[in-house]
Structure 1
C-alpha cells in the first residue's frame, strides 16, 4: 500500500506510524517487531553477524578536575568531567567518562561503522539510499544500546559507516554487539512494516492479511509540558488525571545528556514534561504506545507525585527524575527534583528502542520515594539510582521481575556513586561531599534473566540501608563502596547465579582498607543456598589480616547432606572453614547453619516480612 502525505504533515517530525492503535514496524532487517521481540526472545529481531567494528577516532576533551573539596576513604574521591571533544555528541557537551582515565572505565568513544559478514545483509547491494537508515546496536558489554544514522554503505566491502548517533548511553565502547538496520526502503518486506520517502512524500505500508482502518502519523513527542518561568516562579498545584497518553513520536535521535557519573545518558524530555513546578500530581492515567519517556521531572520540581498510572510499550524509560548542578556545586542551587513520590504504578514493556533505560531513573535528585509499584519486562534495571548525590531515597514495597532481559551486569535495583557532589545531604544547611542514607526495604525482587544481583550496589555505592527484602536468585553485592547495612533480608537460592563472583549470600568484591568495603554490616539475615555450601565470596579474605563485613546473628541454610564452607586464607593457603572455625575469628557470632527448608516454608517467611511493613528501618548496629 502507498499514499501521498498531505502537505500539513511535517515529514521531518513524522517518525512513528501507529496502525489501529499499535506501533507499526519501520522497515528493518532482520525482520521482527521491536515491541515484542528482543534478545530475550528465541527470534530476537537482531543480527549477530557483525564481522568487525570500525575503530573510533579519539577526540580529547578539556578535562576538569576538582582537587578540593574531596571525599577520602573512597575509590572515587574527586569530581571530574570532560568537556567538548568526544563529549560533543551530548547536550550539554560534557561527560564524566570523557577524560583520559576515568575511574573504572575508559575514555568515551563509539565505533565509526560496522563490517558485516558476507551475505549477512542480503538486500545491501540493492540499497538505493542508505542515508535514510539507522543502525540500532548494543554496546559491546551489553550495558546499553546505541542508535546511529547511516552515513553510507558499501556492498562490495560489506561496510556501513555511521553518521550522527551513539549518545544513547554514557560510557561508550570501541565495538558493538547485536544490531539491526531500520528505515531503509529495500528492507520493506514484511507484514506491518512501513517506510516514508520524504523526498516524494510517499508513505509505504505492507499490511498483513487483514486491512487496517486507522493510520496515525505521529509528529509530537511531548503532549503536556509544565514549565515555570524560574525556580522562584514555579507552576503550582496542577492535577493531571484520567487521561490516556499514546502514539507519540520517538526521540532516540534527539539530544541526550550525561547527568552524572553513572552509566546513563538520558533524553530530558517525555510525553509529560515538568520543570520549575511545585505539587504536581499525575494520577490514574495510562501511558501506552509511546516513542519516548513517559514522564520527565527535570531540575527544580518539589513535592510532585506520580500515582496509580500504567506505563506500557514505551520507547525509552517510564519516569526520569533528573536534576543538575553547577559542576561539583549542588549545594548553592536548588535545580533538583525534591521530595517526589512515585507510587502504586504499573510499569511493563519499556525500553523498546533505548536499552539503557528503566521504569524509574533517579539522578541528581533529593528524597525520591518509589513505593508499591509493579515493574516487569524491561531491558535493564527496574529502578536505577545513577549517583550518590544527596540521597535520602526510599525504594519500598515494589515487586520487580523480568529485568535485565536484554543487557548484562545489572540487577532489578541498581545504584552507582562515582561522581563527587557538594550538597547538604549529610546535614541540613551544611555543605558536604557525603550524602544522606537511602533506604531499600520490603521489596519482592526476582533476579531472573541476565540480572546478577537483586540489589546491585555497583561502583562506589555507599550509605544504603537494605532491609526486609525478599530476594530470589541472588545475594548481597558490594563493589568499591562502603557504609551499607543489610538486616532482616531473605535471600533465596543465590547460588543459581554464578557469573562474576555471584552465587553466594554475600559478594564482597575488591575490599580495600581506607578505600572500599569498610563499614559494611550484614546482620540478622536469612540466606538459603540451593546447591552450594559456600555462603560468602569475600575477596582477599585472610585470617591473619581480616577485613570483612561485620557479620552477626545470621541464619544460613545449606543443602541437605552438605557441610557449610567459609572460604578464607589460613596460613597463606585457601581453607574451607566450618562455622565453629569461622566464629573462632570473631566472625558471624550468633549465626547458625541449618539444612535448607522446603519451598512452602520459604514462601511463608517471605509473606511474613513483606506483609509487615511496620518493621523498623533506620536501625543502627
Structure 2
C-alpha cells in the first residue's frame, strides 16, 4: 500500500500499529470507526502485504451484506485475526433486520408487508427464534421432532398453496431424519421431493411426521408464515410481545465466513476469536452429499467454512440460533483448531471435519455396493492430501443441536486423519455426540470428553458411534467372511493408525454408550466411564477394550469375525455379557470383574473369562459420579487401574460454570432386556 496513503489513514484514525507490530483495523464503535462493515475491514486487511493484521470489531450487531470470503489467492498479509475490542460483545449476523408496519389480521395474528422477492425460513423476534407455522403445533416436551402425528401429511390436502411447504419425519428405521419439499400436481395430488438427508434411502417413518410452512397451520403463539406470492409476513406473537415495538430479524445468508484455499496454496494463520454468530439460514434441503458408505449425507458448508487451510483457529466464539451447521472444516486442512466455543440451539451439526471422498481408494457411496477382490485397489492409504489432518477440537460446549436435521453430531469425523477431540462437553443431541463415519484414515485421539443425553430422537446408535465400511467391508456377510479370511491384509488399508478412545465419560439411554458399528476396526478403548448403555462391538478387527467401567450394563459383542483378534479385558461390567451370534471370542476375553457369580458363570460357560472374578467393585461415591475404587476393591486383582473422575468435559471456566453434568444412575442389578436402545 502506498506510504502516503497509509500515513493519511493513520492520521484519520482508521487504523493503528500496535506495540507488537500488528496493524489494527477498527470496525464500528462510538467514534464511527474506520470501517462500517467487517467485510470492508477484512478486504483491506488481505491486501496488506507481509503485515500481521488485527480486525478489531467494536460492540454491536453487524449484519453482513454478503458472506466474508478469505481466499488464499487474495491474502497478502502474513496473518489475520478477527476479534472484538476488549470486553465488548459483537454479534456477526447472517440475517437482515426488518422494519415492519404490523396490522391486526385475525385471532391474535398480525400481518405486515415485506420487500418484494425476499425469502427466508428463520424469523427472530427480540433475538428469539420463532416457529414456522406447523402441524402438529410445537411441543417442547415431545420427545421427537417437538411433536408429530401420523395424519400430518393429510393436512396438506387442505392447504390453498402447498408450494413452500415441508414434510419432516424420522427415517424409516429411526436412523436419522428425512425432509421433503411439498408440491401438488395439476390434479391436486401431493408430491414430495427429498429424503436424501441420510445415506440409507428407506423412506420415512410415518409415525413420526410433522408438516410446516402453511398459513392454514398458523394457529399458535410464536408461529409465523411468509406469503412469498403476496409479500406478506404473518405472525402470532406470544403474550407480552408487541410486534410494533419488537426487533425483527430474518435469516439471510447460509454462510458467514469462508476461508478457501487448497493443498498447494492454503489459507494460513487466520484466527477468528470471541465473536457471536447468529441468524444463519436453514440448509436441510442441501444436506445431500453422501459420505462414503456411512449413514450420512452432508451439506459441505456452515456458518464458518474452512476449506484448504493451515494453522487457522476458531476460539472463544458462540454459535446460537443457526439454521444449519456451525463449523465445517472441509478438504485439505492441517493443524486447524476449534477451542473454547459455545455451540447451541442450532439446526444441524456443531463441528464437522470432512475430507474429499475422491482421496479414498475404491470409494463407494452406497451401503450395498460390493467390489470383488480383483477390483479393489490394494495400495494402502489415501490418494492425496485433500482431507483434514492433525486438527484439534478442544474445550467446546455443545448442546441442543440438530433442531432441523437428525443425522448430526457434536463432532463429526469423516475422511480425515489424526484429529484430537478432547475436553468437550456434548449433550442434548438427537443422535451421537461424537461420530466417526469411516476408517479413513485413523489416528484420532478422543479423550476427556463428557457426552450424555444422546440419541434422544433416533435409535440404534451410541453416545460415541462409528462405522468402518471400508475397502474390505461388504453388506454380504458370506463374501466379507471369505475375503477377510483369505486376504486379511485388506483390513487395515484405510484405518492405518489406531483410533484411541480414552478417559471419556459417555451416557446413552437409547442405545450404547460406545457403539462400534459395521466394520469399525483398529480401536484402542480404555479408561472410559460408561454410565448406562455399555459397550458394543459389531463385526470388525483389532479392537482392544480394557480398563473401562460399565455402569448398569455390560459388553455387547455382535456378529464377530472368526479372526477378529479382538480383546476385552480388565473391565468392570454390571451384568452378564449380551452376545449376538459370536462363534469365536476374539483373541482374549478375560480378567474382567462381574457383579456376581451368576453373571461370571454365564461367561465362563462360553469358554471366556477363566481368570475373571465376581464381586462388588467398591465405588467411592457412585451417587455423585465418583467411581474411583476403594483400596479393597476386587477389581485390582484382575488388573484394573483407577480412572480419574475430575477431568471430563470443558475446562474453560466460563463454560465449565454453565455446562451441565450427566445424571448418575442408581446402581441396579436387574436384568437388561436388550431393547433399551429402542425409542419408546
2:574 matches 1:553:
no
When structure 1 is superposed on structure 2, of 336-345 and 468-477 the one drifting more is 468-477
Q: Distance in 1 between matches of 2:349 and 2:518?
A: 22
The 3 A distance-change label for structure 1 pair 20 and 369 is: same
Aligned with 1:203 (options 222, 233, 238): 233
Q: Distance in 1 between matches of 2:552 and 2:283?
A: 40
Structure with the higher fraction of residues in strand conformation: 1
Whether contact under 8 Å (2:427, 2:454) holds in the other structure is yes
2:599 matches 1:564:
yes
Q: Which residue of 2 aligns with 1:439?
A: 500
Q: Which residue of 1 aligns with 2:89?
A: none
- Post-superposition Cα deviations, 1:475-496, rounded to whole Å, max 9, x if no partner, equal 22111212100111011101xx
Q: Which residue of 1 aligns with 2:403?
A: 352
Aligned with 1:257 (options 289, 301, 308): 289
2:239 matches 1:190:
no
Q: Which residue of 2 aligns with 1:95?
A: none
Whether contact under 8 Å (1:490, 1:606) holds in the other structure is no
Q: Work out the number of aligned pairs and report it.
A: 485
Deviation for aligned residue 1:46: 1.4
Secondary structure of the structure 1 residue equivalent to 2:441: coil
2:149 matches 1:32:
no
Whether contact under 8 Å (2:170, 2:204) holds in the other structure is no
| Residue pairs, 1:56-205, within 5 angstroms | 116=154, 121=155, 124=156, 126-152=158-184, 160-162=190-192, 164-177=193-206, 178-205=208-235
Q: Distance in 2 between matches of 1:284 and 1:327?
A: 32
The 3 A distance-change label for structure 1 pair 209 and 613 is: closer
Whether contact under 8 Å (2:197, 2:298) holds in the other structure is yes
Q: Distance in 2 between matches of 1:275 and 1:594?
A: 53
The 3 A distance-change label for structure 1 pair 613 and 521 is: farther
Q: Distance in 2 between matches of 1:612 and 1:200?
A: 58
Q: Distance in 2 between matches of 1:131 and 1:222?
A: 25
Whether contact under 8 Å (2:157, 2:190) holds in the other structure is no
What runs of 5+ residues in structure 2 fail to find an aligned partner? 1-109, 362-380, 474-491, 630-641, 649-680
The 3 A distance-change label for structure 1 pair 268 and 304 is: same
Deviation for aligned residue 1:2: 1.3
Secondary structure of the structure 1 residue equivalent to 2:313: strand
- Post-superposition Cα deviations, 1:260-284, rounded to whole Å, max 9, x if no partner, equal 2110111111000110110111000
Whether contact under 8 Å (2:359, 2:385) holds in the other structure is no
Deviation for aligned residue 1:419: 2.9
Structure with the higher fraction of residues in helix conformation: 2
Whether contact under 8 Å (2:619, 2:627) holds in the other structure is no
What runs of 5+ residues in structure 1 fail to find an aligned partner? 51-113, 423-430, 495-504, 530-534, 568-576, 615-621
Q: Distance in 2 between matches of 1:432 and 1:240?
A: 37
Whether contact under 8 Å (1:39, 1:46) holds in the other structure is no
Q: Distance in 1 between matches of 2:125 and 2:550?
A: 45
The 3 A distance-change label for structure 1 pair 273 and 434 is: closer
Q: Distance in 2 between matches of 1:355 and 1:601?
A: 32
Larger radius of gyration: 2
Deviation for aligned residue 1:174: 3.9
Q: Distance in 2 between matches of 1:421 and 1:214?
A: 56
Aligned with 1:593 (options 607, 614, 634): 614
- Post-superposition Cα deviations, 1:544-571, rounded to whole Å, max 9, x if no partner, equal xx5445122211113xxx733544xxxx
| Residue pairs, 1:576-587, within 5 angstroms | 585=607, 587=608
Aligned with 2:336 (options 297, 300, 304): 304
Aligned with 1:322 (options 346, 354, 358): 354
- Post-superposition Cα deviations, 1:184-218, rounded to whole Å, max 9, x if no partner, equal 11111111111111111111111112224111011
The 3 A distance-change label for structure 1 pair 460 and 606 is: farther
Q: Distance in 2 between matches of 1:433 and 1:355?
A: 28
Whether contact under 8 Å (1:303, 1:341) holds in the other structure is yes
Q: Distance in 2 between matches of 1:539 and 1:609?
A: 29
The 3 A distance-change label for structure 1 pair 40 and 129 is: closer
When structure 1 is superposed on structure 2, of 245-254 and 308-317 the one drifting more is 245-254
Deviation for aligned residue 1:173: 0.5
Q: Distance in 1 between matches of 2:187 and 2:504?
A: 52
Q: Distance in 2 between matches of 1:364 and 1:476?
A: 24
Whether contact under 8 Å (2:280, 2:303) holds in the other structure is yes
Aligned with 2:644 (options 603, 610, 614): 610
Whether contact under 8 Å (2:334, 2:389) holds in the other structure is yes
Deviation for aligned residue 1:506: 1.7
Whether contact under 8 Å (1:421, 1:433) holds in the other structure is no
Aligned with 1:417 (options 454, 458, 468): 468
